[in-house]
Amino acid sequence: MTEPSRDLARTMLQVAFIGALAAGCFWILRPFLLSMIWATAIVVATWPLMLRLQAYLGGGAAWP
């Protein structure tokens, strides 16, 4: 009968550790969130232009 409670305690500790890890990552990245949102919006908005420019210039990337 001790096995299920031990598994429950282990699972709860794992969930708490993952939650603390996620909160720590958010806390560290918080100053950069607005910049990352803007960068994502710029990349999404200019992606078709980049594809057309690559096709016009002959395909792939400039480096080997």
For the stretch 7-61, pLDDT in tens is: 898 999 999 999 999 999 999 999 999 999 999 999 999 999 999 998 898 876 6
What was the pLDDT predicted at 19?
A: 97
How far apart (Å, rounded) are the C-alpha atoms in residues 4 and 12?
A: 12
Residue 58 confidence (pLDDT): 83
Distant-in-sequence, close-in-space partners of 54: CB < 8 Å, separation ≥ 6: 60
